[in-house]
Amino acid sequence: MKIKETEIGILGLLSIVIFIATLLIFGFLNSDFSFINDFVSKLGAKGEPNALWFNLFGFITVGILLFVFGLTYGNLLNDKLLSVLLSLSGLGFAFIAIPIDMELSRIPISKAHIVSACLALAFWLFGLSRLGYNQQLRKGIRNRANYTATILVLAIIGSVIGLWSMPITHRLIFGIILGWTAITSFELILKKRKE
């Protein structure tokens, strides 16, 4: 059974809506959480109220949706490597649900959380790279991938040189990834309506 473009777009949008809703709900439920100064991972950290539920919905559910989105989007573009890269990014996102210990960041469980986040980001960037150089794709898809990767790297560089804090960098990374997913999803949904 082949999944339709509209369904792929809906999967992408659903992942975004669930992540934002989960972040807002559990962020407001946790009186110790600062939307500006804390890492998003704090909501699912060891000892935090509702950490299990935040990890289940905010990381595992969203990660599975991103896994399926990446797998099917790559298949839609007839690019198996892209499918693998974007789906592995989704799996990495799901594994961010491994609860970090905000007090002991050097213990194995905390390191596993950090490695999961890094792998999710790395596979996503490799996927964008694959999209960006594939001359068989429309120029708009390639340009969006290249611009998105550039903006993401600039956000990380901004943090490294001290323009903003790491929690802000994390918000920017989430926003850039979810923004790319949203634009790509809307394009898939609207493309079918135009035809």
pLDDT at residue 3, rounded to an integer: 82
The pLDDT, as a whole number, for residue 191 is: 80
pTM attached to this predicted model: 0.94
| pLDDT tens digits for range 55-83 | 999 999 999 999 999 999 999 999 999 99
What are the angstrom distances between the C-alpha of 151 and each of 14, 97, 118, 175, 189?
24, 26, 17, 11, 25
Domain total in the chain: 1
Q: Which residues contact 82 (CB under 8 A, 6 or more apart)?
A: 70, 73, 74, 127, 130, 131, 134
Domain of 56, in residue numbers: 5-194
**pLDDT at 105 (0 to 100):** 86
